[in-house]
Chain A
């Protein structure tokens, strides 16, 4: 007892399970980091053990630690080991760990390919499921390529659980391996109509995700989705579908028209907020797409806006947020309908929640007009003052600037007001956006000529009070505005009232505390100012004053010469020398003003940000060619860093000599063109006339009201901008009165007594005239600028690769890579073999086939056109939201109509094949009543039981198109039993994982008009072979078939058999019992069958290399046997293909008419063959580790060959 306890505690010590680990981590007494490192050490020990249970436990703990943020990539290999455990509970742990920590960079991931493939094809749905789930997290392009075909097969699995997962993971596969999209798409489309809602929803999800990225390829699915939308009651699915329509409508406005009604119905009826929100969103998208062609949807807009208003007014903050978000989408196209709710939006600015305030701000951006801009900005300014938290204040600041500057200052009627707003914003404490304000100041001052005088006066005050701004330097970037202020004062110094005062302000010692780049601008602009002052003084003949200014500069400039900033220092020393020179000249009474100001002559024009990029490369210029062979590094001058270039640009422009007269210009034009051609960096300085800014139409003949600037602007206790608001209001009022007066007079004169218009005071934007001539200079572009905008595209977008036309039929080259060897399959139908052989051969296309393909291509083109027509038909004729009946033709047309064509083709193809094969007797005719659905489900295991073309007659087009793929194309299914109710075909497959199990796939097809249910399969077990039954059931119990069969439907069930000895073939008797139910009632029916397990069904195709093969033969422990078959006319190539297919061999080597082949049984017997073809005969010599098996296999082979 005591010993047991001790042993138990030792065990536990070594085997700390996950619970213990979690408990330990949660235990507050322990030091977590120490505890975990101790645990990791233990885990490392555990991983070294051979016991898989211990390993799994260790990996499980590691997964938990990984989630807590510990790196476990070192255990990747152990994870793979656990993944390959045969027990499900361990396997699951392994896959979970892999899904958590594997990624594309994990190098061991390639080792998993075969393991995953094995698990995917496992008979247990849970193994498959766990593999799929794991794979979805770490699929790499390689894995995707190798496993795409397996996953595609799983999309038609009998279990919805697997189908669902397979469909979902296909999305990841598409992303990693875009080539798989087209081959897999038809099947994905099928899944949209899967009977299981889960699978259906998964398919909807995948297609929606795909379609949202590249909507145009999915337009043809619109009718199908429309049907789903009107029939589905699952909100999640509805949301996805509606979202998808939102992506499709911009491409097809007619679709939008069709959608409006069902969507508005949904909006009215649904109680789910998420669905309502999605509907509103999509309606908005629809309206946007319609807005060009169909203006008559104001009712829908109103409905949306109303609903959104309800959302916004809701007390639930989430709804409020979403309402504002959606509102901003409407705003883009229908600003009028949103503007009516301005009050609501402004109210949201006071909300407690920052994200709501930000959304409201976004909305304001679109709501401003000339009329309300000032008012809104005023409101925002009060918020700026109130706002706590710098982030929100900064956001407000940027929004104010955004709102004002949007579309080229479109809404600003009074720039003086705007400048004063900017100046007020500089008083904000702690903002990070000084550079933004500065940029605005510069932009406005440069581009609005009329404002320069005012701007300069404001800037000079700003410079004067620089100590206020600079005092907060350390904390913020607001001092950036000084950069703008200094530059504006310098550049437009002619407008300065008191240049001397400004100059002194700029030379204060305090300036040296500013950041370097600002000092540099100060220095540069001090000289500009100086030049202006000199000019002024010299004109006034005040030599004394001029010398004083020079003296001031000479005294103050040295402080910049000592600046830590290189740029400032360099400029300062340069200028200091210049000024000293001027001083000397002045001492000799030489007039210098002219020359000094010539340094800065010329007009500055704004240049578009992309201008540089858009300069076209002139013909014949090779930018990569060396102009001179590189001698020194001097060439590097050409590649100046951008910032420097930008800084210097103004100087370039300035230093250009003043423009000469017109003639001079004309004379130089040729020379300049020459120069331009040679200089790709040249930017033309004079604005091209056609690009001059045009304000709103008619702006030229609006009388420009000049505001008298001498009006005293200072009203005590009122911020500057407010005064402008007042002034502006007065101005507008005056204007309005005048206009009204004029109108009234007119009216009275002309039509007295006619109907009178009430003169409402609703002025539209156009009525408001700007206070100044808004002479906004457009940004310049170089001549012949390239219109291209290719810089907008992101080459790294993973979804671009998925932009694939899905309606185009599959081409020969498009196929999913298939594993070279196939799982075991047998066939007893000789007619079908022929087809395979030919298809295999078709890799070397014959001329005939080529012709055939061309024909097909033409037909397919036609088909595509038809498809387009179908969509048109659906969109134009069907009334929206009508009963499904009128939709039928459309839906069917899109999906089924193209079927007609390929039927013919395939028949052709089939006939060709037959000609090639000396006209084999045709096989059983296709039954007419077999409908697509039956075919489709029958086709589930396609790679393994490819239907021959003949049978493909009635197949849906997708499958027909797929015929061209060299997927394993032969059906190895053979008839098991048949009666008037049901037809059973089956196939036996062995797998290398389980050495004593084979899987029997049984296709059950309902041939009657009754509904078949309660199907149960029972087999009389033999000593050697046994049906695997669910746990707890006796040998006499049957195994239920997991589905029911409506009339005309077929489905596939899989049963696992345990086999002890595989060396002999055997037969098992069995019965299928079921209840057939029709209108007259239900009857209990039975069908007996005999399952035949051939020896070849235990063989599994396994590739073998020739050297390994030779070694195997040399080893000598193989017994030998041989057979010979006469009367064979088939070509050797076909013969080999046949053996490969039906007997699961692979060709090791082939020389002329002799080939060595290899296969392996599920229990590991090696089977080696030497096949020789003589005149009309074939001899097969075999070697195998078991002689009975060999002779049986050869017997079976002889039978097959005899049919050739």
Chain B
């Protein structure tokens, strides 16, 4: 099960966040900072899965933008990893070469997000 989905840039600014379980708003910011911190601290030589508290973070970096998905332990890490890329490809198609700026204007991304993620029935 996916717990949350984040798009964060290298400066730690959230570009898109989506929670599938209610998290209080002040805890969200805290969580997001911690998550991005642990992602930033990793090098390319390290794997894309982080055990964080009681769930797993799966992240991928695209230029300055991180896409991080938090899942519980029953999820197939590799599938999510591949899926993030799928999502980015769809974004790329929609915006024709997606950039962080595009993602900032989020309503469109939200639309794409909903339809992509639901097509495969993950969320």
| A, B co-complexed | yes
- A positions within 8 Å CB-CB of B: 18-19, 22, 26, 60, 64, 66-71, 73, 93, 96, 101, 103-105, 133, 136-137, 164-165, 168, 198, 201-202, 204-205, 209, 212, 235-236, 239, 243, 272-275, 277-278, 281, 317-322, 352-356, 358
Q: How many A-B residue pairs have CB under 8 A?
A: 116
How far apart are the CA atoms of A64 and B110 in the complex, in Å? Answer: 11
- Residues of the B chain whose Cβ atoms lie less than 8 Å from the Cβ of A352: 43, 45-46
- Residues of the A chain whose Cβ atoms lie less than 8 Å from the Cβ of B119: 164, 198
Residue contact B82 to A274, C-beta cutoff 8 Å: yes
Chain B 59-98 against A: per-residue CB contact (8 Å), 1 yes, 0 no?
A: 0000000000000001011110111000000000000000
Closest B residue to A325 by beta carbon equals: B77
Q: Which of A73, A96, A105, A274 contacts B79 (CB 8 A)?
A: A274
Q: Which of B74, B83, B114, B122 contacts A205 (CB 8 A)?
A: B122
Among A96, A133, A355, the one with the most B-chain Cβ atoms within 10 Å of its Cβ is A355
How far apart are the CA atoms of A425 and B117 in the complex, in Å? Answer: 49
Residue contact A67 to B76, C-beta cutoff 8 Å: no
Q: How large is the interface on B (under 10, 10 to 19, 20 to 34, 35 or more residues)?
A: 35 or more
- Residues of the B chain whose Cβ atoms lie less than 8 Å from the Cβ of A133: 114, 118
- Residues of the B chain whose Cβ atoms lie less than 8 Å from the Cβ of A356: 46-47
- Residues of the B chain whose Cβ atoms lie less than 8 Å from the Cβ of A201: 120-121
Residue contact B22 to A103, C-beta cutoff 8 Å: yes
Q: Which of B14, B22, B49, B123 contacts A318 (CB 8 A)?
A: B49
Q: Which of A165, A209, A277 contacts B118 (CB 8 A)?
A: A165
Residue contact B110 to A96, C-beta cutoff 8 Å: yes
Q: Which of B20, B22, B76, B110 contacts A277 (CB 8 A)?
A: B76
Residue contact A239 to B76, C-beta cutoff 8 Å: yes
Residue contact B47 to A273, C-beta cutoff 8 Å: no
Residue contact B121 to A205, C-beta cutoff 8 Å: yes
How far apart are the CA atoms of A204 and B106 in the complex, in Å? Answer: 30
Closest A residue to B79 by beta carbon equals: A274
Residue contact B121 to A321, C-beta cutoff 8 Å: no
Residue contact A318 to B106, C-beta cutoff 8 Å: no
Give, as a whole number of angstroms, the nearest-CB distance from A154 to chain B.
Answer: 14
Residue contact B76 to A274, C-beta cutoff 8 Å: yes
Give, as a whole number of angstroms, the nearest-CB distance from A324 to chain B.
Answer: 10
How far apart are the CA atoms of A355 and B46 in the complex, in Å? Answer: 8
Give, as a whole number of angstroms, the nearest-CB distance from A854 to chain B.
Answer: 42
Interface residues of B in 22-78 (CB under 8 A from A): 22, 25-26, 28-29, 32, 42-43, 45-51, 74, 76-78
- Residues of the A chain whose Cβ atoms lie less than 8 Å from the Cβ of B51: 355, 358
- Residues of the A chain whose Cβ atoms lie less than 8 Å from the Cβ of B122: 205, 236
How far apart are the CA atoms of A73 and B24 in the complex, in Å? Answer: 11
Q: Which of A67, A212, A243, A322 contacts B14 (CB 8 A)?
A: A67
Residue contact B78 to A69, C-beta cutoff 8 Å: no
- B positions within 8 Å CB-CB of A: 1, 13-14, 16-17, 20, 22, 25-26, 28-29, 32, 42-43, 45-51, 74, 76-79, 81-83, 104-107, 110, 114, 118-123
Residue contact A164 to B82, C-beta cutoff 8 Å: no
How far apart are the CA atoms of A277 and B80 in the complex, in Å? Answer: 12
Give, as a whole number of angstroms, the nearest-CB distance from B116 to chain A.
Answer: 12
- Residues of the B chain whose Cβ atoms lie less than 8 Å from the Cβ of A320: 47
Residue contact B14 to A137, C-beta cutoff 8 Å: no
Residue contact A137 to B20, C-beta cutoff 8 Å: yes
Contacts A18-B105, A168-B118 given; does A236 touch B46 at CB 8 Å: no
- Residues of the B chain whose Cβ atoms lie less than 8 Å from the Cβ of A212: 74
Residue contact A22 to B104, C-beta cutoff 8 Å: yes
Residue contact B78 to A277, C-beta cutoff 8 Å: yes
How far apart are the CA atoms of A103 and B79 in the complex, in Å? Answer: 29
- Residues of the B chain whose Cβ atoms lie less than 8 Å from the Cβ of A277: 76-78
Residue contact A353 to B45, C-beta cutoff 8 Å: yes
Residue contact A239 to B14, C-beta cutoff 8 Å: no
Q: Which of B14, B106, B120 contacts A69 (CB 8 A)?
A: B14
Closest B residue to A354 by beta carbon equals: B46
- Residues of the B chain whose Cβ atoms lie less than 8 Å from the Cβ of A70: 25
Q: Can you offer 23 A-B residue contacts whose CB atoms are under 8 A?
A: A64-B106, A68-B13, A69-B28, A70-B25, A96-B107, A101-B25, A168-B118, A205-B122, A236-B122, A243-B74, A272-B82, A273-B82, A274-B79, A278-B79, A317-B48, A318-B48, A319-B78, A321-B47, A321-B49, A322-B49, A353-B45, A353-B47, A356-B46
Residue contact B1 to A318, C-beta cutoff 8 Å: no
Give, as a whole number of angstroms, the nearest-CB distance from B85 to chain A.
Answer: 11
Residue contact A164 to B121, C-beta cutoff 8 Å: yes
Contacts A198-B119, A318-B47 given; does A274 touch B1 at CB 8 Å: no
Give, as a whole number of angstroms, the nearest-CB distance from A17 to chain B.
Answer: 10
Contacts A278-B76, A320-B47 given; does A18 touch B121 at CB 8 Å: no
- Residues of the B chain whose Cβ atoms lie less than 8 Å from the Cβ of A204: 121
Give, as a whole number of angstroms, the nearest-CB distance from A374 to chain B.
Answer: 29
Give, as a whole number of angstroms, the nearest-CB distance from A132 to chain B.
Answer: 10
- Residues of the B chain whose Cβ atoms lie less than 8 Å from the Cβ of A275: 79
- Residues of the A chain whose Cβ atoms lie less than 8 Å from the Cβ of B43: 352
Closest B residue to A66 by beta carbon equals: B25
Closest B residue to A234 by beta carbon equals: B120
Residue contact A318 to B78, C-beta cutoff 8 Å: yes
- Residues of the B chain whose Cβ atoms lie less than 8 Å from the Cβ of A64: 106
Among B20, B83, B107, B122, the one with the most A-chain Cβ atoms within 10 Å of its Cβ is B107
Q: Which of A26, A67, A136, A317 contacts B47 (CB 8 A)?
A: A317
How far apart are the CA atoms of A22 and B82 in the complex, in Å? Answer: 30
How far apart are the CA atoms of A322 and B58 in the complex, in Å? Answer: 12
Residue contact B46 to A209, C-beta cutoff 8 Å: no
Residue contact B48 to A67, C-beta cutoff 8 Å: no
- Residues of the B chain whose Cβ atoms lie less than 8 Å from the Cβ of A60: 107
How far apart are the CA atoms of A243 and B75 in the complex, in Å? Answer: 9
Closest A residue to B46 by beta carbon equals: A353
- Residues of the A chain whose Cβ atoms lie less than 8 Å from the Cβ of B45: 317, 352-353
Closest A residue to B81 by beta carbon equals: A318
Give, as a whole number of angstroms, the nearest-CB distance from A1074 to chain B.
Answer: 31
Give, as a whole number of angstroms, the nearest-CB distance from A87 to chain B.
Answer: 15
Contacts A69-B28, A274-B78, A317-B45 given; does A236 touch B120 at CB 8 Å: yes
Closest A residue to B48 by beta carbon equals: A318
Among B32, B50, B77, B78, the one with the most A-chain Cβ atoms within 10 Å of its Cβ is B78
How far apart are the CA atoms of A274 and B79 in the complex, in Å? Answer: 5
Give, as a whole number of angstroms, the nearest-CB distance from A622 to chain B.
Answer: 40
Closest A residue to B104 by beta carbon equals: A22
Residue contact B76 to A243, C-beta cutoff 8 Å: yes
Residue contact A202 to B121, C-beta cutoff 8 Å: yes
Among A136, A318, A321, the one with the most B-chain Cβ atoms within 10 Å of its Cβ is A318
Contacts A212-B74, A277-B76 given; does A355 touch B50 at CB 8 Å: yes
How far apart are the CA atoms of A22 and B16 in the complex, in Å? Answer: 12
Residue contact A209 to B78, C-beta cutoff 8 Å: no
How far apart are the CA atoms of A22 and B123 in the complex, in Å? Answer: 27
Give, as a whole number of angstroms, the nearest-CB distance from B108 to chain A.
Answer: 10
Give, as a whole number of angstroms, the nearest-CB distance from B34 to chain A.
Answer: 13
Give, as a whole number of angstroms, the nearest-CB distance from A270 to chain B.
Answer: 12
- Residues of the B chain whose Cβ atoms lie less than 8 Å from the Cβ of A278: 76, 78-79
Contacts A68-B14, A165-B118, A236-B79 given; does A355 touch B22 at CB 8 Å: no
How far apart are the CA atoms of A405 and B107 in the complex, in Å? Answer: 55
Residue contact B105 to A236, C-beta cutoff 8 Å: no
Among B48, B50, B79, B119, the one with the most A-chain Cβ atoms within 10 Å of its Cβ is B79
- Residues of the B chain whose Cβ atoms lie less than 8 Å from the Cβ of A73: 25
How far apart are the CA atoms of A319 and B114 in the complex, in Å? Answer: 29
Residue contact B16 to A67, C-beta cutoff 8 Å: yes
Among A69, A96, A103, A164, the one with the most B-chain Cβ atoms within 10 Å of its Cβ is A69
Residue contact A67 to B17, C-beta cutoff 8 Å: yes
Contacts A239-B76, A321-B47 given; does A19 touch B81 at CB 8 Å: no
Closest B residue to A281 by beta carbon equals: B76
Residue contact B78 to A322, C-beta cutoff 8 Å: yes
Residue contact A355 to B49, C-beta cutoff 8 Å: yes
Closest B residue to A68 by beta carbon equals: B14
How far apart are the CA atoms of A318 and B48 in the complex, in Å? Answer: 6
- Residues of the B chain whose Cβ atoms lie less than 8 Å from the Cβ of A93: 107
- Residues of the A chain whose Cβ atoms lie less than 8 Å from the Cβ of B114: 133
Q: Which of B1, B76, B77, B118 contacts A164 (CB 8 A)?
A: B118
